[in-house]
Every structure is written in C-alpha cells, then in structure tokens.
Copies of this chain bind each other. A is one copy, B any other.
Amino acid sequence: MQLVNHRFQLAARPVGLVQRSDFSYTEAPVADPKDGEVTVKVLYISLDPAMRGWMNDVKSYVPPVAIGEVMRAMAVGRIIASKDPKFQVGDHVTGIFGVQEYATVGTKGLTKVDPKAVPLPVYLSLLGATGMTAYFGLLDVGAAKAGDTVVVSGAGGAVGIAVGQIAKIKGCRTIGIAGGAAKCEYIVKELGFDAAIDYKSEDVKRALKTHAPKGIDVYFDNVGGEILEAALSNLARRARIVICGAISQYNNTTPPKGPTNYLALLVQRARMEGFVVFDYAERYGEAAREMVGWVAEGKLKSREEIVEGIQTFPDTFLKLFKGENTGKLLLKLAD
C-alpha cells in the first residue's frame, strides 16, 4: 500500500506578513527509507517565529528554505519504517521533519523521546528548542542570578513563559511584557511573575521605571522595536540584553528599527548579545534534566496551544505574529 504525504512547500518569498499564496499544499507518495534513514509519521509540528526568518533569502544562521522545498519545521513523530538498526518502528523521535504528514529522513538529527515520561507536545515546548532557548539564553547569555531584576518581552509566548518561570526559580524578580490583559493575568496569577506590563494599553518605558525602580539587570528580548528601546532606557549598571528575536520586525518590508538609544549600553556599561540555541546542542541533556526536575516539583509549567489539522498551517502560523497564542503553538496532525 502506497502512503500519500500531504505537505506545505514554500512557493514564494513572503513580502511582509506571510500569505496563503506563499505556500503550495501538495501531495506525493511517501518515500521508502534508504539505508540510514527512517520514515516518520508526524504527530505534532512546532510553530516558531524563527520560521519567518527562514523564508527570507538572506544569509543567516541556517540557509533559507528553498522555493519548492517543504517548509522547515521542528516536529515530533513516530517511526513507521526504519533502515537504521538504532531506530525501531514505533519509536518516537523529534527532528526537523517539516510541515508535512510523513518525513523520510536520515537519522543523524533525530532524538528519541519517551511519551510515557512527559506528553509528546512538551518535547517541542519546554524540552525542545523553545525551552532550551529560554534556559541557555537566560542563564548562559544573560547570566541571570538570584536577586537580579529580569524583564522578558513576548512574555506570554512559548519562550517568554519559560524564561519568566526559570528566572523565578533562580530567585530573580521577574517582569513580563505581553499583549493584552488575559496574557498579563496568566503570567502573574498562574506562573508567578512578579509583574506584567500590557504593551497594548500601557506606556512600557514608564511602566518599567515603576516595576524596576533599580533598573533591569537582564532583559530577554523576543520582540525588538520600541519595547527594546524602552528596556534600554531602564537598564541597571552592567545589564545584559539577550537578543533572542525581534518578532515585531520580522514582517517589516523596510529594514528593522534599530534601537536609537543604544548608547545606554555605554552609560550603563551594559552589553547586548545574540545567540542561536543550536550552539548549545551538546548541553541540551543537562538543561532537560534540570527542567524535568522543576516540572516534577510543580515549579515549571508547560502550556501548549494546539491546533488540529495540517491544512490550517498558514492561518495557524499567523497567530504567532498576531500575538494570538499563549504558550507554545503546535499543529497536531495525528495521535
């Protein structure tokens, strides 16, 4: 029996916000694995702001997705055919499987996961690149330590909720910047952030002055733009700004807005540093063990927003840029 694969291929380079017509939705037979390959039935696909960057034809930390290529995405699935003795049919694995129902791939980038230990979606959120980004960005790049005032933007997003909770666990005063009352209430009441700032209704610069009167020690930036400037205006001496992303700028058709007050770095002897989580791959195990412990102790909560059906991909993906998701946005294809 020949299985049929449905998939989204990149059809055009988006200009501004991604449109349905930037993808083609096609079907093709599922390829049989060759030696050293497996075929994975994809169960959950991770939707990440970074995917927008991969669609641009620019030099970056990974090559752009080519026109005609299946849209790149991280995912978790179950092996249905294997030509690698280290992987058995029935094993669950994470990897870069793309926005498709079946992926026939080499086993080099695969990681086995255990759905009995934690639910599969958590392997794409707290225990996936999302959680690793929060962990290493905050603790390694940001060097957050007990007593620091930590501010995170995109605080209701997948990375943001992890950053804020890890900061609390480490003894930091933690302030989240998020869009809308519901997200702000969620991060304070459910996740224990010390304060939330609703950028849609508040003057962020002034609110930061109120909530961080001694200045910000670590600013974890997911959004860029005016919120980055507001943080720069409120730095403590020797502050660290962690550049994780700039979702407010990804769909610009003009160059991103640079922070006009970057000389605050000089005045406050502060630094602004970028990172790419894949550089920490060798230390993922260490972070995962610590985070699984925090989850077991009830200190670290995962939250996923799961939308069903591969066909919804273009619309579901846009929720990220409209700020509609709280926590990790996932596409569910099958159980």
Contact = CB atoms under 8 A, between A and B. Distances in A.
A180 interface: no
A274 B267 contact: yes
Contact of A271 (B224, B244, B273, B279): B273
A272 interface: yes
Interface string A76-113: 00000000000000000000000000000000000000
Interface residues of A, number: 33
B274 A263 contact: yes
Given A257-B258, A258-B257, A261-B256, A271 B269 contact: no
A212 interface: no
Contacts of A26: none
Interface in A204-240: 224, 229
Nearest to A252: B260
Copies of the chain in the assembly: 2
A258 B272 CA distance: 13
B272 A279 contact: no
Interface in A260-290: 260-276, 279
Contacts of A264: 274
A53 to B, nearest CB: 9
A274 B271 contact: yes
A274 B279 contact: no
Contact of A274 (B243, B256, B265, B273): B265
Nearest to A263: B246
A44 B318 CA distance: 63
Contact of A244 (B256, B262, B266): B266
A60 interface: yes
A245 interface: yes
A259 interface: yes
B261 A258 contact: yes
A255 interface: yes
Closest 9 CB pairs between A and B? A258-B258, A266-B274, A265-B274, A271-B273, A255-B260, A258-B260, A258-B259, A272-B272, A243-B266
